[in-house]
Amino acid sequence: MIEPGQPRLLLLNGPNLNMLGRRDPGHYGTFTLADAEQLARDAAAEAGFTLDCYQTNHEGDMLEKIHAAMDHYRGLLINAGAWTHTSYALRDALELTRLPVMEIHISDVQHREAFRRVSVIEDVCMGKTAGLGLDSYRVATEKMCAYLRSLEYGR
Ligand code: DQA
């Protein structure tokens, strides 16, 4: 059941993203996860959505959060970290929700190590935003909100 009030989005961050601010600044800048979450929250609020945030390093916890999300959110935004490249369980959980999902990466995954070019979740996502640093979170949120609004207004 969709809850009354403002439509809700959920921003998910996977393994090691709690360490933003301490990771390689060349790929991940110097901002923290709290900065990324706040930017996404503000972008969502600007478009009339409430955004909740969740981060975990435990794959089972992520799967359960996604299962529970399906009745409460209009869309999911996810930086799945290294699970992006490996986790078919994550792919299946995202698909199960039947919600629109936006894949997020901070770094330019297309131009790094070969394994980062592989995404096993991309076919269940409506889009991907990567390589913009901190701004990936803002742009991804804006794209998701615009997409959901376009569905609502039929354009
Ligand atoms: C990442 C890219 C992944 O390859 C990596 O494992 C991460 C972060 C990114 O945001 O650029 O942890 O998803």
Residue nearest atom 3 in ligand 1 by C-alpha distance: 81
Q: Which two tokens stand for residue 136?
A: 């990936």
CB atoms near residue 54 (< 10 Å): 16
CB atoms near residue 61 (< 10 Å): 12
Residues in contact with ligand 1 (CB, 6 Å cut-off): 16, 79, 81-82, 84, 105-107, 109, 116
Query: Distance between CA atoms of 57 and 145, rounded to whole angstroms?
Result: 27
Ligand 1 geometric centre to CA of 155 (Å): 33
Ligand 1 geometric centre to CA of 83 (Å): 9
Whole-number pLDDT of residue 133: 98
Give me the residues of the chain with pLDDT under 50, please. 1-3, 155
Q: Structural domain of residue 56, as residue ranges?
A: 8-153
**Residue 119 falls inside a structural domain:** yes
Whole-number pLDDT of residue 154: 58
**Residue 2 falls inside a structural domain:** no
**Residue 25 falls inside a structural domain:** yes
Q: Which two tokens stand for residue 115?
A: 């394994």
**Residue 60 falls inside a structural domain:** yes
**Residue 57 falls inside a structural domain:** yes
Question: Which residues, in sequence order, are bridge partners of residue 103?
Answer: 78, 128
- Check the CA dihedral 38-140-151-71 and report its sign: negative
| Total of domains in the chain | 1
Whole-number pLDDT of residue 2: 46
pTM of the model: 0.95
Output the domain CATH number for residue 38.
Answer: 3.40.50.9100
**Residue 106 falls inside a structural domain:** yes
Whole-number pLDDT of residue 1: 43
Q: List the one residue out of 20, 26, 30 whose CA is nearest residue 55.
A: 20
Mind telling me the catalytic residues?
28, 105
**Residue 1 falls inside a structural domain:** no
Give the atom of ligand 1 at the shortest distance from the alpha carbon of 105: 10
Whole-number pLDDT of residue 5: 78
**Residue 130 falls inside a structural domain:** yes
